[in-house]
């Protein structure tokens, strides 16, 4: 008998038939005498639908009420799944965030789980019941409902696996596992059998939404092995665990992309010590995260152009802050939101020379201009024009032998 956390994403519970199918997966685990905690997302599209409703009232809809609204999608799935299990003669009960409770800290729509009370659910599991828990939410110390960021049901599942000391945490989704790139966009993508936390963390932070990055981070911190697998096929999934157990035959494990960034160039800034610090200090105080930075000497040698990237959502705020800043002089600010970040990730990059050159050559062969670059030990990201995204991903996937 083992304690298992099974997480089912939006598509997996997207229709009544699919919820019934999920109930059968749980029934099988239960009949093998496993103690099951199922974490569920809202039915696919539901969270976006609710978000849209709030926007119809006001674009800056009250944050507290937005969390009350968005968390309701998961409540619906919990009840339907529990009802479907009861119909299969399995003892089952839904536990809402405030009933457990799942305690969170931090701002509305971006809270973090800090603790989960285990007693009620453990009692229920010990009495042969299946516990159904809503992903993506909790309550604050004031008792307000909070949500923990889009895709947050993954993070709920990992937190539950840790706090309940579960033997495994299985992430059921609509693809067979983690692929070398998004299989729905690049059909030649290959399933990865096993991948390290570090690589998965890079891939998910750089756009592979198959796992939410903060969930991977928590799993890595507490060494909780994860398995990503399909709700709809019986194929083996992808195991995510610590690096020592993995043999690297390839320099690059996967290619990811995202369209969340925007590029800003501040032209003709005075070229003297302290200018970059003066520029970025007010941004950091305003919680604007600057990612890539490039500085060019301009033709007159006295001024410089500074280019950097921020999240697209932060672009107006960033421009406003720069315009209001009295500590920098510049000629103009140019921004470009039609850019994409394309990244290659691989722990094998550390020991393979020439990866950078190969990436740049591949993109130049496709006539793709690189607008900014950033690197770490196991990843290399470039900013390019958004229209070239898939062409770039395909090319990199091919030249690094991933097809
Ligand atoms: P869920 O609703 O189950 O949480 P998500 O939609 O959040 O599922 O994540 C699964 C989707 O992630 C897949 O349908 C796929 O299009 C996308 N995806 C992006 N990159 C990858 C990748 N490298 N491997 C697998 N899926 C990926
Ligand atoms: N329903 C939430 C979302 O769409 C959480 C999740 O699906 O993981 O973001
Ligand atoms: Mg997801």
The whole-angstrom separation of Cα 382 and Cα 258 is: 11
Residue 254, ligand 1, Cβ within 6 A: yes
- Which ligand has its closest atom nearest to the C-alpha of 153? 2
Distance from the alpha carbon of residue 247 to the mean position of ligand 2, in angstroms? 33
Residue 150, ligand 2, Cβ within 6 A: yes
Distance from the alpha carbon of residue 154 to the mean position of ligand 3, in angstroms? 7
- For residue 326, the model assigns a pLDDT of 86
- Residue position matching structure tokens 């931090």: 106
Band (pLDDT 50/70/90 cuts) for residue 267 is very high
Hey, what are 164's tokens?
Answer: 């309940």
Q: Is the pLDDT of residue 244 over 90?
A: no
Q: Is residue 34 part of a domain?
A: yes
Interval 91-142: pLDDT, tens: 999 999 999 999 999 999 999 999 999 999 999 999 999 999 999 999 999 9
Protein residue closest via CA to atom 27 of ligand 1: 182
Q: Is the pLDDT of residue 271 over 90?
A: no
- For residue 392, the model assigns a pLDDT of 98
Band (pLDDT 50/70/90 cuts) for residue 397 is very high
Query: Rounded to whole angstroms, what are the CA distances from 334 to 264, 322, 330, 337, 383?
Result: 6, 12, 11, 10, 16
For the chain, the domain total comes to 1
pTM of the predicted model, to two decimals?
Answer: 0.94
Q: Is residue 159 part of a domain?
A: yes
Residue 309, ligand 1, Cβ within 6 A: no
The domain spanning residue 104 has which CATH number?
A: 3.40.1160.10
Residue 45, ligand 1, Cβ within 6 A: no
Task: Taking residues 143-151, report their average pLDDT.
Answer: 97
Q: What is the 3-state secondary structure (H, E, C) of the chain?
A: CCEEEEEECCHHHCCHHHHHHHHHHHHHHHHCCCEEEEEECCCCCHHHHHHHHHHHHCCCCCHHHHHHHHHHHHHHHHHHHHHHHHHCCCCEEECCCCCCCEEEECCCCCCEEEEECCHHHHHHHHCCCEEEEECCEEECCCCCEEECCCCCHHHHHHHHHHHCCCCEEEEEECCCCCECCCCCCCCCCCECCEEEHHHHHHHHHCCCCCCCHHHHHHHHHHCCCEEEEECCCCCCCEEEECHHHCCCCCCCCEEEEECCEEEEEEEEEECCCCHHHHHHHHHHHCCCCCCCEEEEECCCCCEEEEEEEEEHHHHHHHHHHHHHCCCCCCCEEEEECCEEEEEEECHHHHHCCCHHHHHHHHHHHCCCCCCEEEEECCEEEEEEEHHHHHHHHHHHHHHCCCC
Ligand 1 atom with the smallest distance to the CA of 11 is: 2
Band (pLDDT 50/70/90 cuts) for residue 273 is confident
- For residue 342, the model assigns a pLDDT of 98
The whole-angstrom separation of Cα 244 and Cα 193 is: 15
- For residue 302, the model assigns a pLDDT of 85
Task: Taking residues 46-62, report their average pLDDT.
Answer: 97
Protein residue closest via CA to atom 9 of ligand 2: 150
Interval 340-359: pLDDT, tens: 999 999 999 988 889 999 99
Q: Is residue 131 part of a domain?
A: yes
Beta bridge partners of 385: 339
- Report which of 293, 315, 305 is spatially closest to residue 373, judged by C-alpha positions: 293
Q: Is residue 106 part of a domain?
A: yes
Q: Is residue 7 part of a domain?
A: yes
Q: Is residue 18 part of a domain?
A: yes
Q: Is residue 327 part of a domain?
A: no
Domain that holds residue 133: 3-174
Distance from the alpha carbon of residue 284 to the mean position of ligand 1, in angstroms? 31
- For residue 383, the model assigns a pLDDT of 96
Q: Is residue 122 part of a domain?
A: yes
Interval 57-78: pLDDT, tens: 999 999 999 999 999 999 999 9
- For residue 245, the model assigns a pLDDT of 61
As a whole number, the mean pLDDT across the chain is: 95
């Amino acid at each position: 008998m083992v304690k298992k956390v099974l997480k089912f994403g939006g598509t997996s519970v997207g229709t009544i038939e699919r919820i019934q199918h999920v109930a059968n997966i749980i029934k099988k685990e239960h009949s093998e005498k496993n103690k099951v905690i199922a974490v569920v997302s809202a039915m696919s599209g539901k969270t976006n639908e609710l978000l849209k409703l709030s926007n119809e009232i006001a674009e800056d809809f009250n944050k507290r009420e937005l969390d009350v609204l968005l968390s309701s999608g998961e409540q619906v799935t919990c009840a339907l799944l529990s009802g479907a299990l009861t119909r299969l003669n399995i003892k089952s009960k839904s536990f809402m965030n405030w009933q457990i409770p799942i305690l969170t800290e931090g701002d509305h729509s971006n809270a973090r789980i800090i603790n989960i009370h285990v007693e009620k659910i453990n009692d229920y599991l010990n009495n042969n019941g299946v516990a159904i828990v809503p992903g993506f939410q909790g309550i604050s110390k004031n008792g307000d409902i909070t949500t923990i960021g889009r895709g947050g049901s993954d993070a709920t599942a990992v937190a539950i696996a840790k706090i309940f000391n579960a033997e495994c945490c299985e992430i059921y989704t609509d693809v067979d596992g983690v692929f070398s790139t998004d299989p729905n966009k690049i059909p030649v993508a290959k399933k990865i059998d096993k991948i390290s936390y570090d690589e998965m963390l890079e891939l998910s932070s750089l756009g592979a939404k198959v796992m939410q990055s903060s969930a991977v981070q928590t799993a890595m911190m507490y060494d909780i092995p994860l398995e990503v697998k399909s709700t709809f096929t019986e194929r083996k999934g992808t195991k995510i665990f610590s690096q020592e157990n993995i043999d690297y035959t390839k320099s690059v494990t996967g290619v990811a992309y995202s369209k969340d960034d925007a590029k800003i160039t501040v032209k003709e800034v005075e070229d003297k010590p302290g200018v970059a610090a003066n520029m970025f200090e007010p941004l950091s105080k305003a919680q604007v995260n600057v990612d890539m930075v490039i500085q060019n000497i301009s033709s007159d040698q006295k001024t410089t152009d500074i280019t950097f990237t921020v999240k697209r959502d932060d672009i107006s705020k960033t421009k406003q802050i720069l315009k209001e800043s009295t500590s920098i002089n510049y000629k103009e600010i140019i921004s470009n939101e039609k850019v994409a970040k394309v990244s290659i990730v691989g722990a094998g990059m550390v020991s393979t020379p020439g990866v950078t050159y190969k990436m740049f050559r591949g993109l130049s062969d496709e006539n793709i201009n690189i607008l900014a670059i950033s690197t770490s030990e196991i990843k290399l990201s470039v900013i390019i024009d958004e229209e070239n995204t898939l062409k770039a991903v395909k090319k990199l996937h091919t030249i690094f032998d991933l097809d």
